[in-house]
Amino acid sequence: MAKAKTVFFCQSCGAQSVKWIGRCPVCGEWNTYVEEVIQKEEPAQAGSWKPASTTPGGSSTKAAKSRPLNDIVAEDEPRIITSDGELNRVLGGGIVPGSIVLIGGEPGIGKSTLMLQIALSLRKHKVLYVSGEESEAQIKMRAERLVDQQHPNCYILTETQTQNIFRQIDQVQPNIVVIDSIQTMHSSLVESGAGSVSQVRECTTEFLKFAKETSTPVLLIGHITKDGSLAGPKTLEHMVDTVLQFEGDRHMSYRILRTIKNRFGSTSELGIYEMQGTGLRQVSNPSEILLSQRSESLSGMAIGATLEGNRPLLVEVQALVTPATYGTPQRSSTGFDSKRLQMLLAVLEKRAGLRLGQHDVFLNIAGGLRLDDPALDMAVCAAVVSSLNDLPIPGDVCLAAEVGLSGEIRAVARLDQRLAEAEKLGFREMYVSHFNGKGLDLARYGLKVQPVSRLDEVLNGLFG
The annotation places the binding site for ATP at: 105-112
Dihedral sign computed on CA atoms, order 301, 307, 308, 314:
positive
CB atoms within 10 A of CB 28: 10
Indicate the annotated binding residues.
105-112
**Residue 181 preceded by cis peptide, ω within 30:** yes
CA neighbor of 208 nearest in space, from 177, 244, 186:
177
Buried b (16+ CB within 10 A) or exposed e, 308-329: bbebbbbbbbbbbbeeeeeeeb
Cα-Cα end-to-end distance for the chain? 84
Q: Give the CA angle between residues 236, 239, 244 to the nearest 5°.
A: 70
Positive or negative torsion for Cα 193, 197, 202, 204 = positive
Q: Which residues of 74-94 are buried (b: 16+ CB within 10 A; e: fewer)?
A: eeeeebbebebebbbbbbbeb
Separation between Cα atoms, residue 279 and residue 312, nearest integer Å? 25
Q: What is the C-alpha separation between 147 and 249, in angstroms, rounded?
A: 25
Q: Are residues 283 and 272 in contact, defined by beta-carbon separation less than 8 angstroms?
A: yes
The answer to whether 430 and 450 have CB atoms below 8 angstroms apart is: yes
Q: Which amino acid is at 52?
A: A
Give whole-number Cα distances, 181 to 47, 53, 153, 159, 167, in Å: 19, 26, 21, 11, 18
